[in-house]
Amino acid sequence: MAYIIIEDFRAGLDRRKLAVASPQGSLQTCENAHITRGGEIEKRLAMVAKYSLSPGQTFGFAGANGVLYTFGSVASPAVPSGITYQRLVHPSSHAMDGVVFAEFYDGKVFVAAHYTNGDTLHFYDGARITDWDSASGATVAGQAAVAGITLKDKFYAAYLSVLGFSAIGDPTLWQTGTGYGFKNMANQSAGSEALTALGRYGSLMAVFARRNTQIWYLDPDPTLNVQQQVLPNIGTFAARSVVSFGERDVFFLSDTGARSLRTQQSGLQAGVSDVGTPIDDDLLAYMATLTEAQRLAAAAEIDPINGRYVLAIGNRAYVFSYFASSKISAWSTYEFGFQVTDWVSMDGRLWGRAGDTIYQLGGDDGATYDSTVVEVDLPYIDGRAIATFKNFTAIDIVSQGEWDVYINTDPNQPTEESKIAVINNITLSGPSLGMLGHSPVCKLRFVSRGTGPAKLSKIIVHYDAAEAT
């Protein structure tokens, strides 16, 4: 009797080929799970509802130095203990209806807040920055920043085609002090007429438009600012999807899928990495089902424990697990059932806001699971002999937790499957799971049960060579 071993799942989701032609070790579905440092499939932690906020009265979410913030314009909304409310008042008493971005400078939060009359006003530590007011006479007067970032003792904000920057050491000064000013990105590269996002790229800054990205060296002395590179025909529409990943990677969501700016092997030049290629077809198809507002609200963060890039869009998150020493570069998905619009990574925990609820991934102990169902769908297994018929007789599984196991042996009828077992332990020391199948290929699907942790580590498929009938 021969057998086929799937040693690990380090390739993660890979939808570039049909299921019958995809490589072994890749996955067609990996829902509510991710790939570990050892190449195992592991159930995700629970999204535990931690705080409930007053409906419609607070907006945005930020955190630093152990403090979680939310924002609004009403005087005293009911805010639970554990959340700090910062009131941002419009001078004409218009109601606040959203947060464009929140970024920290010197431990205090810089916020661009949107109001029902269409104004975007800017605040630092709860006080309005009057240089941004329409009558101030400053270059930024009356402008609406779409993204902001702290870099080298200054605050930078993108609006229209302009990258503006504050005075050195004071994010409230935009027309006085030392070092304030602006740079019109549209004068530096066509395609930057409407900026969308900013990102830290090592010690440099990536200035994004929807289909153009510029890399800049920025100095506290603005006369030393230098454009390093222009990357045409690539950019982002979702400011909150931009996240620094390691020292020389910036991940972002583009019109073509998930992408990253990555340092080339020689020098500091950036190249666009098609890191999302294995899941781009699925991601683009999913984005097509969403509204424009849902796509623009895509938000990403880095899991502080395992360093995973978590990109939430709609009710789903696309999760990238990267462990260089283990040669693991793998995508999977989480299905939340709600849209996370704001993330905070702080003190070893990942927090997310959806509507008026603040969630904590893994709960207080960072190890809380729930009854979330994991679904894993492998491509067809052929043992490197796709044209040879086989009598599939049994499988062995190295796993943790309880799983339903299904088999399909007809690529022309991929939804026709048989449930062959319910497993709750490693089968190697006992009888293998029997199955019957006469085909060149077979496909396995696993569905988790229960409320605890669950893993799939290794699969062994037993077969005998057979003649076609």
- Determine the Cα–Cα distance for residues 164 and 148; give it in Å rounded to an integer: 9
Residue 265 in this model has a pLDDT that exceeds 80: no
Q: 0.85 cut: is pTM over it?
A: yes
Q: Tell the residue number behind the tokens 């995700």, with chain if given.
A: 44
Instruction: Map residue 35 onto helix, strand or coil.
Output: strand
Q: Please say whether the beta carbons of 310 and 317 come within 8 A.
A: yes
Residue 266 in this model has a pLDDT that exceeds 60: no
pLDDT for residue 349: 95
Tokens of 194: 């409407």
385 pLDDT band, cuts 50/70/90, is confident
433 pLDDT band, cuts 50/70/90, is confident
pLDDT digits (tens, 9 = 90+) for 202-254: 889 999 999 999 999 999 999 999 999 999 999 999 999 999 987 678 999 99
Mean residue pLDDT of the chain comes to 93
Instruction: Map residue 292 onto helix, strand or coil.
Output: helix
Q: Which DSSP string do the residues of 139-164 spell out, in sequence order?
A: TTTT---SEEEEETTEEEEEETTEEE
Residue 336 in this model has a pLDDT that exceeds 60: yes
What CA dihedral angle connects 432, 438, 440 and 446, to 10 degrees?
A: -50
Residue 188 in this model has a pLDDT that exceeds 90: yes
Average pLDDT over residues 371-393: 89
Instruction: Map residue 86 onto helix, strand or coil.
Output: strand
Q: Tell me the domains of the chain and their CATH numbers.
A: 2-43+374-465 (2.60.120), 47-361 (2.130.10.10)
Average pLDDT over residues 449-458: 96
- Determine the Cα–Cα distance for residues 59 and 73; give it in Å rounded to an integer: 9
456 pLDDT band, cuts 50/70/90, is very high
Cα 244 from chain centre = 11
Average pLDDT over residues 322-327: 90
Average pLDDT over residues 136-164: 97
Residue 436 in this model has a pLDDT that exceeds 80: no
Q: Tell the residue number behind the tokens 């037993």, with chain if given.
A: 462
Q: Which residue has the higher pLDDT, 177 or 432?
A: 177
Q: Tell the residue number behind the tokens 């935009």, with chain if given.
A: 174
Residue 329 in this model has a pLDDT that exceeds 60: yes
pLDDT for residue 306: 92
467 pLDDT band, cuts 50/70/90, is low
Average pLDDT over residues 27-31: 97
The dihedral sign for the CA sequence 371, 375, 376, 380 = positive
Max intra-chain CA distance, the chain: 85
Q: Please say whether the beta carbons of 35 and 327 come within 8 A.
A: no
The dihedral sign for the CA sequence 47, 51, 55, 57 = negative
**Cross-strand bridge partners of residue 47:** 361
pLDDT for residue 120: 98
Helix (H) or strand (E) holding 283: helix 277-287
Angle at CA of residue 332, ends 419 and 147, nearest 5°: 150
Average pLDDT over residues 458-469: 80
Tokens of 244: 């620094």
Q: Please say whether the beta carbons of 317 and 339 come within 8 A.
A: no
User: For the chain, how big is the Rg over CA atoms in Å?
Assistant: 25
pLDDT for residue 278: 94
Average pLDDT over residues 268-296: 90
pLDDT for residue 247: 67
How many angstroms separate the Cα of 95 from the Cα of each of 59, 62, 75, 119? 11, 20, 11, 10
- Determine the Cα–Cα distance for residues 438 and 58; give it in Å rounded to an integer: 60
Q: Where are the beta strands (DSSP E) in 152-240?
A: 154-159, 162-165, 181-184, 195-201, 204-209, 212-217, 226-232
Cβ neighbours of residue 36 closer than 8 Å, sequence gap 6 or more: 42, 321, 455
